[in-house]
Amino acid sequence: MVKRAHRTRLPRTTGRQVPPEIADAIKGTTRRVRGLRTAAQWLEELSRLHVLSVEHGLGLHSDDPRIIVRDGELAQIGGPHAVFTVNLSAPDACVFEAFKRWFAEARKQIATPIRKRGPHSQNGKFTELEFNIWKDLKITEYCELLAWRTENTRATKADLGRWIGRQDANAVIATERALRNALKRLPALAGQVEHEMAQCPEGEQATSDRIARDISRAPRLSELG
């Protein structure tokens, strides 16, 4: 009796192939994101991704009262804010003392973002190491693809992951988790940028303006059909 030869089963190639125009857009986004190195640059980027999540109903952002989106733009980020009211007819010494008491009480409710160890050290400061992790996990590319997918529902999350080099389910989960966490920490990043701008307002403002112009000219995956 002749034995049948053993047949090796090859894995099936499943999922949709990336459309050529989307592949080009992904490459363009990756090139642009590689140039994001500072907190100010990433604040602009994450603000845009937050708006994408809101406008396309992606559910990646947290409903934070400190972040307000209006007419497709981030209208406010930061806070909570507080107002100190004072009687200007009172002597200066009384005004200063009243403010000290008010501020001490406010700080009991909202901790300072500055460490006591140094005048320029921040709690939970964002560094280039964390920015590089966001680049490696492709959080920008993934968010833009999710926005694009709202009008191209045949593509699955697994497809999107493969298109950006995140080949398995765990890799896609890690990317989405990192994206959600980054958007959740947007107010903290805004606080860091505000602190840095206070230290060097002209340089940081120039950087912020330049990045805003670059982002406005960059192609968007979500704009492609």
pLDDT at 67 over 80: no
Q: What is the mean pLDDT of the chain?
A: 76
| pLDDT tops 60 at residue 114 | no
Nearest to 45 by CA among 191, 197, 218, 198: 218
How does 149-171 read in b/e, with b if 16+ C-beta sit within 10 Å? beeeeebebbbbbbbbebeeeeb
Mean pLDDT to the nearest integer, 99-103: 77
**Contact criterion met (CB below 8 Å) for 174 and 137:** yes
Give the residue with greater pLDDT, 191 vs 146.
146
Most confident of 58-67, 85-94, 188-197: 188-197
Angle between helices 201-217 and 39-55 (to 10 degrees): 40
The per-residue pLDDT for 191 is 84
Of the listed ranges 77-81, 113-117, 154-158, the least confidently predicted one is 113-117
- What average pLDDT does the segment 85-97 reach? 79
- Give me the pLDDT at residue 11, please: 35
pLDDT for the residue numbered 71? 60
Q: What is the mean pLDDT of residues 189-206?
A: 72
Region 125-145: mean pLDDT is 94
**pLDDT at residue number 141:** 96
Q: State CA 144 to chain mean position distance.
A: 12
Most confident region among 83-87, 169-173, 220-224 by mean pLDDT: 169-173
